[in-house]
Amino acid sequence: MPIRDQPKSSIRISALQTFSAIGVFLMLNRTLAMGRLFPLWGILTIGMIAANATLAQTPSFTYQGRLTDSANPVNGNYDFEFKLFDTQNSGSGTQHGPTIQQLNVTVTNGVFSVQLNFGACPSCFNGSDRYLELGLKSVGTPAFTTLSPRQQITSTPYALKSVSANSADGLSVACVNCVTSSQIASVNGSAVTGTIPLASLPPGSSNYIQNTIAPQALSNFNISGTGVIGGSLGIGTSSPAGLLHIKGANPVRILGDPSTLEGSESVDFMARSSFFSSDLGGVRIQRQTGATSNGDIDTSFLAAANGTSASEVMRVTGKGNVGIGTIIPKHRLTVIGSNPGSHPLWVGNSSGDLAFAVRNDQTVLIGNLSTITAASTLVCATVPGPFPVEGQLLGRCASSSHYVPTFDAGNGLPEPGDLVSISPAVKNNANDNQAPFAVAKSIRPCDEHLIGFIVDSQSSSSGNKINEHYLPLGIYGYFAARITTENGAIRRGDPLTSSSKPGFAMKSTQACRIIGYALEDADRDGKIQIFAHLSEYTSPLVTGLQKQIEQLKRENAAREARLAALEQTIQRLGVSGEKPAQP
């Protein structure tokens, strides 16, 4: 007979001993779109579906219900959806377990039956209130219609928990939660075997290291064996960006052992061809010992050519000196030696072209000056332009000067800007074969021994500076010279020669030797820029000769005219037989 007509005692005995499937009848009053709207009615009851008592118990149970349309039983196929919640009202609470869909279920005379199995779901039937939410739709329609309110599951399904009671016999190894922590005073550690669940470990213990993302306080470890890490290691960071990522105010501090390093401290960061084999290169930080080191901490850089072991190629001392090719650099940068086919020092510009190089033969290459072949081409330092460059610029000379020996001829030693002349009677006593002469201030106008003028000692000059009396003589280019207006005001382009004022230049108005041409106007004595170019000023002489030539040309033209007139007269007289008139 139907289960609802059985005595209550029979139901209870069947639930505990002979039945593994449990059914629930629900009385529902809902509106459902199944081609048209159907009012749904259900009768709430509890029923059991018989099963063989010898079958193993499962979490599956049978759910039966009745669908009516205006009190008339419904027939046809429908899709059902079942969800388990902890609250009665739709749209609230937490769903437990999966959503179960039973599709194309046959409803006969209003009755349907489905098997529900929420699987391994510890929270589904843990003793708390549970409510079943049903969704219903016609087969082939897209969406389920949720019926509300949800229907409470009675305590009958909790007969499933009886399957755990058998494991309590004798506290077998299958017993779970048979004895709780509150029932145990203590257990010997040696008596505990197996795997302890991670959730059972008390967090924050200082007795062991836990695998957590957040740092574990008061946790230290000491390993005497070999440790291997397959992934990335972060020290001071939980998100290592590389195989080893150290982050902190003082991220790395490695000290050598004085007992094994004999008092020196060393830290090596090396790449090796194999474990503890030959070094391929790296960095060594080491305290230096010896009388010259004073315990300085030097940093050495090691590298290796193909097929060789690493050797030191550069060192930075504790005093800040850098050495390449030497382990004892005495200067801020010391470079010694070179590789075959290269220079000890080579500096290029942004395009990779040579800017500066030092060769093994102690010669220096400087930019485009490296292509200089003429022996007379000079290298000069010039003051930079308006662009922000410190110091001076080195390049080919746009001007030149040469050191010459000077002496005092009674008007004082020459100074920058003074015109000087060679003294034929004075010989240089400095044993200088290149300059066996000496110069002094010029004192005569249009001096035929005038040789130039002294320029600033900061100018780049060729020749030897044997003593303090060797001063640079301007030969070619722009320099400042002393001038006087004793021969008239000076205008740009005027030739300049020596004057009667010792060391001063004046405007030249006759043919004589000049030191160059004025580049500035001057109405009084002082210094102006001149273009140095020692030469013979012949312009006045040439002008006079040109005037004489023009005069001679005019006189010759007059004579030729008179001669032509005489020839015509002679010809006329010869034809007529007349005698020419006496001139």
Cα(90)–Cα(63) distance, integer angstroms? 20
pLDDT for 371: 53
pLDDT for 396: 56
Over residues 89-103, the pLDDT tens digits come to 999 999 999 999 999
Cα(360)–Cα(371) distance, integer angstroms? 18
- Give me the half-sphere count of Cα atoms (radius 13 Å) on the Cβ side of residue 214: 5
Mean pLDDT over 31-55 rounds to: 35
CA distances from 35 to 82, 105, 575 (A): 22, 17, 156
For the beta carbon of residue 575, count every other beta carbon within 10 angstroms: 8
pLDDT for 214: 74
Architecture in CATH of 400-537:
Beta Barrel (2.40)
- Is the pLDDT score of 155 beyond 50? yes
- Is the pLDDT score of 113 beyond 80? yes
- Give SS3 for 548: helix
pLDDT for 29: 35
CA distances from 342 to 34, 308, 354, 359 (A): 93, 20, 13, 8
Mean pLDDT over 483-497 rounds to: 95
* 189 vs 394, higher pLDDT: 189
What mean pLDDT, rounded, does the chain reach? 75
Cα(178)–Cα(270) distance, integer angstroms? 58
Confidence band for 3, pLDDT divided at 50, 70 and 90? very low
CA distances from 503 to 46, 179, 455 (A): 135, 120, 12
Q: What percent of the chain has pLDDT over 90?
A: 23
Cα(248)–Cα(72) distance, integer angstroms? 78
- Is the pLDDT score of 23 beyond 50? no
Query: And the tokens for 345?
Result: 């020092």
Over residues 50-71, the pLDDT tens digits come to 333 335 567 788 888 887 778 8
- Is the pLDDT score of 368 beyond 70? no
- What angle (nearest 5°) sits at the alpha carbon of residue 394, between those of residues 393 and 399? 100
Confidence band for 522, pLDDT divided at 50, 70 and 90? very high
* 172 vs 204, higher pLDDT: 204
Model pTM score: 0.35
Q: What percent of the chain has pLDDT over 70?
A: 71
Cα(123)–Cα(96) distance, integer angstroms? 6
Mean pLDDT over 242-255 rounds to: 73
Mean pLDDT over 502-508 rounds to: 95
Beta bridge partners of 444: none
pLDDT for 225: 84
Q: In the chain, which residues fall in CATH 2.40.300.10?
A: 400-537
- Is the pLDDT score of 458 beyond 90? no
Over residues 574-583, the pLDDT tens digits come to 765 555 555 5
**Any idea how long the chain is?**
583
Confidence band for 287, pLDDT divided at 50, 70 and 90? confident
Beta bridge partners of 45: 25
Cα(198)–Cα(221) distance, integer angstroms? 20
Mean pLDDT over 503-516 rounds to: 92
Mean pLDDT over 215-220 rounds to: 74
Q: Cβ-count burial of 403 within 10 angstroms (0-12 exposed, 13-18 middle, 19+ buried)?
A: buried
Confidence band for 31, pLDDT divided at 50, 70 and 90? very low
pLDDT for 288: 76
Q: What is the DSSP letter of 490?
A: B
